Amino acid sequence: MINSMQATISLSIVEKNGASRNRTIAMTSKSFPGGVEKRLIKFLEPADVRGTAMLIIDNKDVSDEIWIYLPALKRTRRISSSENSRSFMSSEFSNADMGSPTLSDFRSRHLEGSGTNNRWIIESIPADEDKADEYGYSRKVSYVSMDKYQVSKMDFYNFDGEHFKTIEIKEFHPMAEGKHMVSRMLATNLIRGRKSEIVFDNISDNVKVEDSFFTVQNLER
Amino acid sequence: MTNFVIKYRWLIISLSIIAGISMGILIPSSETDPEIRNAIPAHMQSRIETDKIEKEFGVQDMVMLLFTDSMILTPDNLKNIRDIDRAIAKLTGVTNRISPFTVKEIKSSYDMMVADPLIKRIPEDNESIEKLKTGILSNNFARDIVISSDLTTAAITATINTSERESVTLGKIDSLISTYQADEKVLKGGLPYIRRHIMDDVKHDGVFLVPMALIIMLVVLKLSLGQWKSVFMPFSVVLLSTLISMGLIPLLGWKLSIISLLAPIILIAVANNYGIYLVARYQELRMKDDISSNADLIRELMRSLSMPILFSGLTTIAGILGLLTHSIIPAKQGGVLAATGVSAALFMSLTYIPALIYLRGKNGKGIKPARITTAGFRKLLGGLSGLVVNHPGKIIAGALLLTLVISSGITLLKIETNQEYFFPKNNPVRVASKMINEKFGGSQTVSVMIAGDIKDPVVMKGIDSLTRQLEKNDGVGQVFSISQAVREMSKAIYSDGEDEYDKIPDSRESIAQMFELYNMSGDPDDFSQMMNLDNTKAHILIKLSDPSAGVIKDVRAEIENITSGFPADITIGGYAIIMAEMARSLIKGQVRSLAFALVAVLLLLTIIFRSLRGGLIGIIPLASSVLILFGFMGFTGIKIDSATALLSSIMIGVGVDFTIQYIWSFHNHRRHGLSYEESTRAALTIIGRSIIINAFTVMAGFLPLVFSGFMSIRFFGYLVIISIGSCLFGALVLIPAIIMKFRPGFLDRDFIKNKHSKYEKRDHNVNVSTAAFTGLRPAAGCRPDTEPVA
């Protein structure tokens, strides 16, 4: 379990026609008792949103709380908690893609060819229609290396059975206790032709950070 | 020419059949293009501008599904609509959709900006339903967008993408609706459905109308020519020339459209004429004892008919080629197809039919008499010729007055480019379009793209000002822009009473941070139709409840006026703008094609009659018919559209034949020494009959058009009958009266070098004026045919 972590995150979204949007944010996260995780995000780039800050309180059993401070408007507002299928910061990543999946939400099995060429090929199908609606896909196929237990690629299929999105894990960052964290991944929406890449830099784990850092008041500082 | 035909008869027949079949084989590979915007050349401004906008914001063609009931907000109705909406969301071919279940309510609640669905749960009790009603009526993103103000209709608007064939996506939507539909009535509208109906109707018309026209023509030919063997010759020319013409569509990479359907009908109506003249004359000649060989028969046939048929064909082609001056692509293509078909028919009539006649020869079974009796004609034309001879001045004055009165309707003439009006009033697409226009702001759109720094408050305020101003314009149903979303967000962030509430912020950072706030909770596609990803381009979508040319013009002027000082580039496009340019092109094309056809026909008539005066007299009935046609259209409310715009050129091309026939015949009688009065009586009695039959044959050929699935093609069918009738009147009443009154000198000179054949000299038959243009054997008892000319 990583207690706290800091990183600089670059998120770039590139449209089919080449238009792009880039965001650089600094994230600090810390685990709290009761399975609660709190994250404080500060926007660094672009200049017109610099100073914008978000506090995300990831509760285990109740809805998440999200607060955002907008310095130009001098307002702090809560925003509604997101569904798993909803886009992460308007990128091709969903909120579910940003965390670990809940295994019980899926029925999984090995596909043909799994266990050869140093990889497992695992199909995950949402356990029921509600879960399918929640996650926003009908089927996922993950490619996992057998020696490192690391996912290298995930293919997502829509409700027409069409392969609509691929997430490729490009880099892992070594963390404490021999664990690894995804530090670069690329999501490609095959239907919209849009790509989103997220890169974690300057990763430090188990940093010292006060509990009071994760408060609404601190957002506005 | 005659020797060539005789020598290479088998080659001519073989090549004609091979050409027809080879081109005919290509026809099944023709594709249909229901997209009316492709009627405008890609280099035209409205296409360029629209393409620029669509490249950035995607095609704005939307499917609209309307669910109607006396009260649409019932739990059962809403459940059905939700199920259909959910299922549509999962379709690959659908990019975005707006429905009662996707519309967001942006509001401030306990310091929280909420962008939640308008309907989170289906309301089950009266209190919840009343709450939902209030929510809908107060939500600018819901009222008259997803639910009508009278709460009787709900709409799902889906943007179709190109990841799968549009027809496949529409098929899936239809299937979903039939699966889930319950009590509510469902109407399907929007351009994709209009396109599908056009595709279906083009296919239906092609399968139904062309065979019907062929059968009608077969009956007419049988009545005219008596024998099936005689019928085969002109009918095979019709078939082969139609195959050649229609085979050009796939060969040239063109696509079938509503307009290209007219080409085979024009050919069926027109292409048999030359063959009828030849076969009728052949039937006559083979009865003569002094023609001893097949070669003599062909020589006499060609001598007497090749020139008038050539003139007749060339003037028809010249009239039709007027369509090439149109900037509307289907009009040009229709002109090429019809002109090619008529050229092929003309060429085959002068080579292939004589070759067949040569093979059939002089011998054979006796000729069955044609079934059209002559007594009625003689009586009618005798009376008419008496009238013309005795009262030419009154006839001219009457015709002038009639033309002036009817042509005054031109001031009422309107242009129509709206595809919705292609369909009859009770057609489901037309019904859906009417409801969309009345309750949901309209299905036709104008798009404005603003390229610049969209987060700049000056630009955003400009967008806001334009949006609010356009909303007040007559004929504008709804306007969608990013500024409305910014205002809604300001309402969620600030409290009512604060200065910033319901305002566009004054700083770039404030606007940027509002978007960032929305990005955290909204869907990335929520704004994709209004603003691009890097906020360098914005899109204002204006829905027109009245997509008339005047409204489009006003909207465009308003946009140009308001955006004149914008610190951004403005592009104005969209389907309605394309249609407005198409309307302008139709007017220009109409004038140009008309002028071209009249001038070309004037030149040809001048050459044929060797007199400019003769040419001018020849185009009088055509010009008069054009005025009458447009005047009639004005009075009856039939609008100029992409089909009816073709009418005047075709009318000139076909109608000029009647004039040539009459003047040619009159001239021959004069050359044989008859007085003006005698020539008028003789020409009207003999050639008048054939002109009438010819005109009615053409009308019969066009008749199936009145059974078309498209209103504009139906109108074309009605109008062509009126036009031909008008040309007929011109040729048989007005031209004889003018000639009688003014006695132009060109009629006393030779048109062509006179080469009387030995057969003509012997029986003193007037060569061309007898069977030449009659299509039937000459009426017995008529003086020029029966009595030697002194």
Reported as a single tens digit per residue, the pLDDT across B622-631 is 899 999 999 9
C-alpha dist (Å) from residue A88 to A157, A197, B522, B562: 19, 12, 10, 38
Band of the pLDDT at B382, cuts 50, 70, 90? confident
Encoded amino acid at B439, one letter: K
Average pLDDT, chain B: 83
pLDDT of residue B108 exceeding 70 = no
Q: State residue B523's pLDDT score.
A: 64
Residues whose CB falls within 8 Å of the CB of residue A133, separated by 6 or more in sequence, listed in order? A85, B86
Domain B62-189 fold:
Alpha-Beta Plaits (3.30.70)
Q: State residue A20's pLDDT score.
A: 85
Q: What is the pLDDT of residues B35-72, one digit of tens each?
A: 777 888 888 889 899 989 988 887 767 899 999 988 88
Contact call for residues B622 and B598 (beta carbons, < 8 A): yes
| Nearest-CB residue to A72 (from B86, B113, B513) | B513
Determine the average pLDDT of the residues in B459-471. 93
Domains of chain B by residue range: 2-36+197-363+375-420+580-751+758-786, 62-189, 453-567
Q: Which residue of A has its CA nearest to B525?
A: A90
Band of the pLDDT at A88, cuts 50, 70, 90? confident
Identical fold at B2-36+197-363+375-420+580-751+758-786 and B62-189?
no
Encoded amino acid at B554, one letter: D
Question: Count of CB contacts below 8 A, A vs B?
Answer: 101
* Contact residues on chain B for A15, CB-CB shorter than 8 A: 532-533
Determine the average pLDDT of the residues in A184-191. 91
Which comes out higher in pLDDT, residue B769 or A152? A152
Q: What is the pLDDT of residues B205-232, one digit of tens each?
A: 888 898 999 999 889 888 877 788 888 8
Q: Beta strands B112-117 and B104-109: pairing type?
A: antiparallel
Q: State residue B786's pLDDT score.
A: 32
- Tell if the CB–CB gap between B113 and A77 is shorter than 8 Å: yes
Interface of A with B (CB under 8 A): 13, 15, 17, 19-21, 43, 46, 48-49, 52, 54, 66, 68, 70-73, 75-80, 82, 86-87, 89-91, 133, 158-160, 162, 164, 191-192
Q: What is the pLDDT of residues B705-726, one digit of tens each?
A: 999 888 888 998 999 988 999 9
Q: Which residue of B has its CA nearest to A93?
A: B524
* Contact residues on chain A for B509, CB-CB shorter than 8 A: 48-49, 71-72
Structure tokens at B325: 């001056």
Beta bridge partners of B449: B539, B571
| Nearest-CB residue to B92 (from A82, A89, A191) | A191
- Tell if the CB–CB gap between A68 and B520 is shorter than 8 Å: yes
Q: State residue B778's pLDDT score.
A: 38
The residue among A14, A65, A90, A129 with the most chain B CBs within 10 A of its CB, best to mutate, is A90
| Nearest-CB residue to B113 (from A46, A79, A164) | A79
Query: At A146, phi and psi to the nearest 5?
Result: -75, -30
Q: Nearest-5° angle of CA B412, CA B545, CA B716? A: 40
Q: State residue B657's pLDDT score.
A: 85
The residue among A73, A89, A93 with the most chain B CBs within 10 A of its CB, best to mutate, is A73
Nearest CA of chain B to the CA of A220: how many Å?
14
Structure tokens at B537: 């381009």
Q: Which residue of A has its CA nearest to B500?
A: A73
CATH of the domain at A28: 2.50.20.10
Q: State residue B517's pLDDT score.
A: 79
- Tell if the CB–CB gap between A91 and B524 is shorter than 8 Å: yes
Query: At B418, phi and psi to the nearest 5?
Result: -75, 120
* Contact residues on chain A for B107, CB-CB shorter than 8 A: none
- What kind of architecture, by CATH, is found in domain B2-36+197-363+375-420+580-751+758-786? Up-down Bundle (1.20)
Query: Which long-range contacts does B527-531 make (Cβ < 8 Å, 24+ apart)?
Result: B527/B482, B527/B485, B528/B57, B528/B96, B529/B57, B529/B58, B529/B60, B529/B96, B529/B159, B529/B480, B530/B480, B530/B481, B530/B482, B530/B485, B531/B454, B531/B482
Please state which of the ranges A7-21, A58-72, A137-151, B46-60 shows the lowest mean pLDDT.
A58-72
Element (H, E) at A131: helix A129-135
Tally Cβ neighbours within 10 Å of residue A174: 11
| Cα–Cα dist B626/B47, whole Å | 31
Residues whose CB falls within 8 Å of the CB of residue B546, separated by 6 or more in sequence, listed in order? B437, B442, B474, B475
Number of domains, chain A: 1
Element (H, E) at B187: strand B185-189
Q: Is the peptide bond before A46 cis (omega within 30 degrees of 0)?
A: yes
Which comes out higher in pLDDT, residue B775 or B610? B610
Band of the pLDDT at B522, cuts 50, 70, 90? low
- Tell if the CB–CB gap between A43 and B517 is shorter than 8 Å: no
| Residue-number span of the structural domain to which A86 is assigned | 4-219
